[in-house]
Structure 1
Amino acid sequence: MRFLSIVRIDENSGLQPSPKLMADMGTLMEELTREGKLINTAGLMPTAEGTRIRLSGGKLSVVDGPFTEAKEVIGGYALLETASREEALEITKRFLRVHGDEWNVECEVRQLMTHGETCG
């Protein structure tokens, strides 16, 4: 089963990852990759460097960032391969715990549809 753990952050918090956080995260990612549970992960550039493209009523609109109306934004993701939803949730909890007390981070965990599946 594959799951996408979507990392939501407050881009305006001013917090920067400490060397300890980066080292601890690197250790966790190496372990999960070695175990075949972490397929891919990445952080995203700030919304100031992003663009939103929207289709509404058959018309496309393009808006360049930053997107000041959003308190929380997607800051990164992890693509996981696990035996169960519970395992994906536990891995995500481990990821969040690495951040310590000073960070406010939220992850949304969603299973990827397999070929032929539909929503609902």
Structure 2
Amino acid sequence: MPRFMVLVKATADSEAGVMPTEELLAAMGAYNEELVKAGIMQAGEGLHPSSKGARVRFSGKERTVTDGPFAETKELVAGFWMWKCKSLAEAIEWVKKCPNPMPGPSEIEIRQVFEAEDFGAEFTPELREQEERLRKEIEKR
């Protein structure tokens, strides 16, 4: 079954560190319970504002670190879920049931996660075995 990363986009409020109300926390808790009971939700977390983060830019062998905050709020992520759904259409239907995650207008983006078979011949049997071994090691922790 395909996996989808469901991204809650940041807003001026989330970037300012405005915390959700008790009502929103309760509504999201109930929504998350629905997702878990349906076998959809694999993981989900909220993220601190970008002012507490950093970016690392790559150029050849050079690495440049930039501390947050970052200017383009609409390009930032405030939280995420990892879901298993039959299709993008099913993920969209689940997102439509979500309480508005922010006090004002907000946006949620849905992106399908690549699976091993999506990479073709370049993803050799040795690389597939390594990937599987790492996944199993992560699950043990």
| Contiguous gaps of at least 5 residues in structure 1 | none
Report sequence identity in percent.
Answer: 31
Asked if structure 1 preserves the Cα contact closer than 8 Å seen for 2:53 and 2:67, the reply is: yes
Asked if structure 1 preserves the Cα contact closer than 8 Å seen for 2:41 and 2:84, the reply is: yes
Higher relative contact order (CA 8 A, sep 6+): 1
> Secondary structure at the residue paired with 2:35?
helix
Task: Give me the CA root mean square deviation.
Answer: 2.1
Q: TM-score, normalised by structure 1?
A: 0.85
Corresponding position of 2:62: 59
1:61-87 CA-to-partner distances (Å, cap 9, x unmatched) read 1011111x2122210101111111101
Residue 103 of structure 1: CA displacement? 2.0
Return the alpha-carbon distance in structure 2 between the equivalents of residues 36 and 93 of structure 1: 17
Return the alpha-carbon distance in structure 1 between the equivalents of residues 19 and 52 of structure 2: 18
Return the alpha-carbon distance in structure 2 between the equivalents of residues 112 and 28 of structure 1: 22
1:31-76 CA-to-partner distances (Å, cap 9, x unmatched) read 1111110111000011111010011244211011111x21222101
Asked if structure 1 preserves the Cα contact closer than 8 Å seen for 2:8 and 2:101, the reply is: no
Q: How many matched pairs? A: 116
Distance change >3 Å, CA 45–CA 100, structure 1 → 2: closer
Asked if structure 1 preserves the Cα contact closer than 8 Å seen for 2:45 and 2:81, the reply is: yes
| Contiguous gaps of at least 5 residues in structure 2 | 121-141
Q: TM-score, normalised by structure 2?
A: 0.73
Higher helix residue share: 2
1:108 matched to 2:109: yes
Corresponding position of 1:8: 9
The 10-residue stretch of structure 1 (37-46 or 56-65) with the greater mean CA deviation from structure 2: 56-65
Distance change >3 Å, CA 23–CA 12, structure 1 → 2: closer
Return the alpha-carbon distance in structure 2 between the equivalents of residues 101 and 62 of structure 1: 29
Larger radius of gyration: 2
AA aligned opposite 1:32: L
Higher strand residue share: 1
1:71 matched to 2:73: yes
Return the alpha-carbon distance in structure 1 between the equivalents of residues 119 and 97 of structure 2: 30
Asked if structure 2 preserves the Cα contact closer than 8 Å seen for 1:39 and 1:81, the reply is: yes
Asked if structure 2 preserves the Cα contact closer than 8 Å seen for 1:11 and 1:46, the reply is: no
AA aligned opposite 2:20: P
